[in-house]
């Protein structure tokens, strides 16, 4: 199954005539959850909204009754039965329907006969937790219909529909213009994310040079956010290139081609900034590691110097203690006052003891001085 999904023809669709499908039954085929999952459904002709059906069956019927009409159906977390109903009505390929059910796809463009299947990922910057949240939208584009399937709150396509309905000339260009408007809104939504990430990187640079111990964790977390954002923006470049390459072949108007190129330019700028962010974070991490090492080396040097000074002081204390210990030892022995002791009654005993104390003390002083202990 995974290999079959790679069979992508990266070109926009061509409007072709096709037999009108049979109207769907109004009771048996209509999923019970349609009223909850259909965010908005409308039938357009010449850039104007003609009707707003509330169920899939009503939408099918209204589209069949409107010559040259275009259906735009917006769904939020549809059930499998609803997608199967849409697949039967609009001849959607089972692989595309399977992707729309499971979600969690990377941005891509695939063609199944005259139906284009596009996966887009929206991004939203959350200021308080300093995180980037992502949403996913799947778009089925055919000659006379556009189906959008969302599994998250983002992106809000109601603003896209509002914009298109206030620009009938653009909407009248057909289903290609709706796809363009959706991609344009998603790419425009990347700008606040880029600004938020840039601000976070500026704050991290300040933390790094301030010696904040928590900055390493923040660098890692922000790097993860940037990588996730890159996975949403970079594959979209291939989608835009595919649409541009097939524009002439599939009859996309010059005005719409210019609009698509403008969106592609904005996307290129976003991708360049994202690439810069990854390089900057990698460099910041290297600088932070260097600064941490320098601070550790500085602390180790300071500790070594302190230990050395303490050792020198211990040497001096030990030297003087040894010098003072020798006369103390001699005096303590002869201070015992035993009646039978050598030289106790000798006339030169006292001068001899004093001289011995001085000689030993001076000798120890000279020895310690030569060893630089004093």
Q: Which residues pair with 138 in a beta bridge?
A: 119, 149
Report pTM: 0.71
To which residue do tokens 């990854």 refer?
278
pLDDT number for residue 344? 66
Are the beta carbons of 122 and 186 closer than 8 angstroms?
yes
β pairing state of 70-76 and 145-150: parallel
pLDDT number for residue 325? 83
Asked if pLDDT for residue 97 goes beyond 80, the answer is: yes
72 CB neighbour count, 10 Å cutoff: 23
Asked if pLDDT for residue 195 goes beyond 60, the answer is: yes
Mean pLDDT, rounded, for 171-181:
90
235 CB-contact burial (10 Å; exposed 0-12 / middle 13-18 / buried 19+)? middle
Q: How far apart are CA 166 and CA 160, in angstroms?
A: 10
Q: What is the DSSP string of 57-102?
A: HHHHHHHHTSTT-EEEEEEES--HHHHHHHHHHHT--HHHHHHHHH
**What percent of the chain clears pLDDT 90, i.e. is strictly above it?**
39
365 CB-contact burial (10 Å; exposed 0-12 / middle 13-18 / buried 19+)? middle
Query: Closest by alpha carbon to 176, among 116, 111, 106, 93?
Result: 116
Q: How far apart are CA 13 and CA 176, in angstroms?
A: 8
> What residue spans define the domains of the chain?
1-12+28-167, 309-370
Query: Closest by alpha carbon to 255, among 169, 166, 163, 142?
Result: 169
Residues in Cβ contact with 368 at an 8 Å cutoff, skipping those fewer than 6 apart: 315, 319, 322, 323, 374
Backbone angles phi, psi at 290, to 5 degrees: -65, -45
* Least confident piece of the model among 51-65, 223-237, 311-325: 311-325
Residue 247 pLDDT level (bands cut at 50, 70, 90): low
Long-range contacts formed by 43-48: CB under 8 A, 24+ apart: 43/69, 43/70, 43/71, 44/69, 44/70, 44/71, 44/72, 44/171, 45/69, 45/70, 46/168, 46/172, 47/167, 47/168, 47/169, 47/170, 47/171, 47/172, 48/168, 48/171
Query: Closest by alpha carbon to 223, among 282, 269, 135?
Result: 282
pLDDT number for residue 185? 93
Asked if pLDDT for residue 285 goes beyond 80, the answer is: yes
pLDDT number for residue 234? 93
Q: How far apart are CA 51 and CA 118, in angstroms?
A: 26
Asked if pLDDT for residue 51 goes beyond 70, the answer is: yes
Are the beta carbons of 91 and 218 closer than 8 angstroms?
no
Q: How far apart are CA 254 and CA 260, in angstroms?
A: 10
Mean pLDDT, rounded, for 146-163:
89
166 CB neighbour count, 10 Å cutoff: 9
Residue 249 pLDDT level (bands cut at 50, 70, 90): low
What is 1-12+28-167's CATH superfamily? CorA soluble domain-like (3.30.460.20)
Residue 322 pLDDT level (bands cut at 50, 70, 90): confident
Q: Which residues pair with 41 in a beta bridge?
A: 73
Asked if pLDDT for residue 347 goes beyond 50, the answer is: yes
Residue 15 pLDDT level (bands cut at 50, 70, 90): very low
CATH tag, 309-370? 1.20.58.340
Q: 349-364: per-residue pLDDT in tens?
A: 778 778 888 888 888 8
Q: Alpha helix (H) ranges present in the chain?
A: 34-37, 56-64, 80-90, 94-102, 158-165, 168-171, 175-188, 190-210, 215-245, 254-334, 349-370
* Least confident piece of the model among 26-30, 118-122, 201-205: 26-30
Q: How far apart are CA 123 and CA 191, in angstroms?
A: 9
Q: How far apart are CA 329 and CA 96, in angstroms?
A: 101
Q: How far apart are CA 278 and CA 227, in angstroms?
A: 8
Q: How far apart are CA 329 and CA 147, in angstroms?
A: 105
């Amino acid at each position: 199954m995974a290999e079959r999904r790679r069979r992508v023809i990266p070109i926009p669709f061509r409007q072709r005539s096709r037999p009108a499908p049979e109207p769907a039954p109004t009771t048996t085929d209509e999923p019970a959850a349609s009223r909850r999952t259909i965010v908005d459904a409308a039938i357009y002709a010449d850039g104007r909204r003609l009707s707003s059906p509330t169920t899939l069956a009503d939408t099918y019927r209204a589209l069949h009754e409107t010559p040259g009409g275009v259906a735009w159906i917006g769904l939020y977390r549809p059930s499998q039965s609803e997608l199967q109903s849409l697949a039967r009505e609009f001849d959607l390929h089972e692989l595309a329907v399977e992707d729309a059910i499971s979600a969690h796809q990377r941005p891509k463009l695939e063609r199944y006969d005259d139906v284009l299947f596009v996966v887009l990922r929206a991004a939203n910057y959350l200021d308080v937790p300093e995180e980037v949240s992502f949403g996913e939208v799947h778009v089925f584009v055919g000659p006379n219909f556009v189906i959008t399937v969302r599994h998250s709150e983002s992106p809000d396509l109601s603003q896209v529909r509002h914009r298109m309905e206030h620009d009938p000339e653009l909407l009248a260009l057909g289903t290609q213009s709706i796809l363009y408007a959706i991609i344009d809104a998603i790419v425009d939504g990347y700008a606040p994310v880029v600004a938020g990430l840039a601000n976070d990187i500026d704050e991290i640079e300040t933390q790094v040079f301030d010696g904040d111990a928590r900055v390493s964790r923040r660098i890692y977390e922000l790097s993860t956010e940037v990588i996730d954002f890159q996975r949403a923006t970079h594959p979209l470049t291939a989608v835009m290139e595919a649409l541009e390459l097939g524009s002439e072949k599939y009859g996309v108007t010059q005005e719409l081609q210019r609009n698509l190129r403008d969106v592609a330019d904005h996307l290129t700028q976003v991708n360049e900034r994202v690439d810069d962010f990854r390089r900057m974070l990698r460099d910041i991490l290297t600088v932070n590691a260097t600064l941490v090492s320098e601070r550790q080396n500085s602390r180790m040097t300071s500790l070594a110097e302190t230990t050395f000074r303490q050792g020198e002081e211990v040497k001096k204390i030990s030297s003087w203690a040894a010098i003072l210990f020798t006369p103390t030892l001699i005096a303590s022995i002869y201070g015992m006052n035993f009646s039978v002791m050598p030289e106790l009654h000798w006339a030169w005993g006292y001068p001899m003891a004093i001289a011995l104390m001085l000689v030993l003390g001076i000798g120890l002083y000279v020895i310690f001085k030569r060893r630089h202990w004093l």
